[in-house]
Chains A and B, each alone.
Chain A
């Protein structure tokens, strides 16, 4: 909708990549009930834990990853094709909304790294069942090879998670600052730079496996480089707000919190990237704290912001602003209560991935648990607010729900009609920036129609 297209470029393939997911999920869930238990080797599934010492259910895990990978690749190819091929006339690449840009780059990352993950699990499959020795030094292979292949996928994967979040925030902050985004083109280039760098820094997850010093140094400096484009983004968000006519609706609150907390997580990332220091931090709660700051504050906060921001457009009803704000403050405070202490625990040496811990760590863990329950409460409130909006929300009929919002999605009727653009919108250049004219699209249909889209 943001580029003026009726649907994805390849709608049936889109549908397929969606329907694969429930099957893959069902396969994974079924492993929990199997003899020998479900996969028990963590999300990084290092060999030989996931090969020599794995339960039989690992085979189901492997094939589930395969079809999920196929789903991701098809979905991403579709996104790329849609963005490259379905933009409305006049919408050049450098006029696309930033959210669209971040998705384009994210999809590219997915197409590039999902096959590598598929390769990794295929190697596992062969090692487990057909006697190959990729990850077995006895045959001349190396368990560390697994880590290289995995993190070649794994590091870009964390950017796959965060880039769309960058995009969301880059849409919301200008709206509520009532100013165009500061440094649009530098945002685009920074995103591309981050994506490129994400391919060449993977071994910063492996500082302790015994790489040669040259490797440690290279991966350390390369990782630190990522801080530069990331810094550009943070600077641009802040500058967009500077002297803007700010208002603080819920999506904006979440976006500002995103900027603050993500920056914080970026700094701890920078600490971890110092190879010599990471030997101390690695596999401690410090790492856990780092990635929750970037992932929860990054992906979850921006996701929440996105839902509040576009919900009125989706269903034509307004959420409860007070409840949203209450949820924000609980979430923000609880998040910090939960994860801030984990920095201290990690620095004091508490290892991650153990169910139990030394008594000296008990106090901060207690604080962290209290925060976690509060945070959970905030999420329930969120769910309640969304459901209630759909059932009892105040109807809104303005095309432009937010006063400062720019972009095609705010020009069509609210809620957006099914297959929004039967004809591509037309751009007339005039005044500041592009102006779009939408030729009366299909009459708005009842909300009930929307779920069938796709």
Chain B
């Protein structure tokens, strides 16, 4: 709620209209790019404009803050804005997680000729079986989908061919009795390392925050630096993982629904890690310039919230895509 006193109303600005122009160019450009025979020219022009606008815009906001123009009320508006933005990101991921769940639990059973969840799925067994016989004869319910319905029907001439190997927990390949002795198979399993890295980075960003609040600049910079490096390391490992998938696992975007959900979920997560790392890097540079004080550092706080969010998403991914993949 407002307190008494005057409101801060910023100067009129041309930035928004340039920003919108850039977005328009990028959208139009991206569409022309993906169409066969298209190119990226317009998109790149848009991107260049966007970079300039973003730079100017954030500088302006930072300047206003340095001049003390930003009232506590406006700061609170920034906080609300960031939190609701993160909420919208949660919903974006929810769409993809929901899609994964739907395909994996329901569709997979139905086209395989089975009831999905015996208790609730009242599709008569005969009807379910007919589903399979008429549409995709020979397809069996399975996850990960290693042999697509397309392959079940069309064999080698299929358009969607399942992968040779999946990304899931290596221990699943052995009976439970052997798990202990096979624990070493986890060592080269990248997702595990990525989990360790991200969890650690969430912790270090927290340490950076406490350091900042206590006014210890060196602690802040050290831990923030480590966090940025961990983020970067995560991305490198993910690139390595994708390379493995394409080169050795036969797992691509085109290998049916398993490849689709795997790459889309981890890919969007990776994009968010990239963004988060960039945000933290900018905060690091601002930290070097000494723009933060122990009680005024919202830019950093926002970036760290984002980072925690990205971390939580990863935990979800690790569970449903890798461990129970």
Contacts and interface: CB of A to CB of B under 8 A. Distances in A.
Nearest to A73: B88
A183 interface: no
A111 B91 contact: yes
Interface residues of B, number: 77
Contacts, number: 243
A112 B89 CA distance: 9
A408 interface: no
A452 B12 contact: yes
B44 interface: no
Nearest to A142: B107
B95 A149 contact: yes
B148 A139 contact: yes
Interface string A123-153: 1011011111110111111101100110010
A144 B74 CA distance: 45
Q: Identify whether the interface residues of B are mostly helix, strand, loop, or mixed.
A: helix
Given A114-B88, A132-B264, A138-B148, A88 B257 contact: no
B103 A140 contact: yes
B125 interface: no
Q: Identify whether the interface residues of A are mostly helix, strand, loop, or mixed.
A: helix
B309 interface: no
The bracket for how many chain A residues form the interface is: 35 or more
B102 interface: yes
Contacts of B3: 89, 424
Contact of A12 (B1, B13, B30): B13
B6 interface: yes
Contacts of B84: 76-77, 80-81, 111
A243 B158 CA distance: 73
Interface in B235-268: 252-254, 256-260, 263-264
Interface stretch (A17-25, A167-175, A186-194, A379-387): A17-25
Interface of B: 1-7, 9-10, 12-13, 15-17, 19-21, 23-24, 26-28, 30-32, 34-36, 57, 73-74, 76-78, 80-81, 84-85, 87-89, 91-92, 94-96, 98-99, 102-103, 107-108, 111, 116, 120-123, 135-136, 145, 148-150, 158-160, 252-254, 256-260, 263-264
Interface of A: 4-7, 9-13, 15-16, 18-20, 22-24, 26-27, 30, 56, 59-60, 62-64, 66-67, 70, 73, 76-78, 80-82, 84-89, 91-92, 111-116, 118-120, 123, 125-126, 128-134, 136-142, 144-145, 148-149, 152, 212-214, 419, 421-424, 426, 452
30 contacts: A11-B9, A13-B81, A15-B13, A19-B17, A27-B31, A60-B28, A63-B26, A76-B84, A77-B81, A80-B80, A85-B73, A111-B91, A112-B88, A116-B95, A119-B92, A119-B95, A125-B34, A128-B34, A138-B149, A139-B150, A139-B160, A140-B107, A142-B107, A149-B95, A212-B121, A212-B123, A419-B9, A422-B7, A422-B9, A423-B4
